Amino acid sequence: MPEASEPLPPQKPATLTKEEESFIVETVRRFYGDNAVVRNFGPAPDRIDLHVEAEIGRDMTLYDCLGVLLTRIDRAAISLEITKRGSKVYGPAKIAYRQGVIL
């Protein structure tokens, strides 16, 4: 069996301005509650990758929240991953837990 290659080093998330950061946190907490945890984890500067851990799981609230974010923040793309607190983590949410920055 061939040797496994070295794991890729973690990448720092792209920086956000203070105004963007406060708007994102305010918007997410309006939709998902005051105890929602918001993480920025995407390394690309032209897009924003966000992860939210909340008491509410993935439902239509995701699209309402994403719509508000897209109207006020000027980036090529914004992605929003939602994980219900205590549930198993899948896909991009794993990256957010490992190398994301809590806003």
pTM across the whole model: 0.85
- The mean pLDDT value for 51-63 works out to 88
Band (11; pLDDT cuts 50, 70, 90): confident
pLDDT at 64: 92
What's the token pair of residue 46?
A: 């032209």
**Residue 97 predicted with pLDDT over 90:** no
What burial class does residue 61 get, using C-beta atoms within 10 Å of its C-beta: 0-12 exposed, 13-18 middle, 19+ buried?
middle
pLDDT tens for 34-48 read 999 999 998 888 999
Band (3; pLDDT cuts 50, 70, 90): confident
Distance of alpha carbon 29 from alpha carbon 45, whole angstroms: 24
Which residues 6+ apart lie within 8 Å of 102 measured at CB?
A: 37, 38, 39
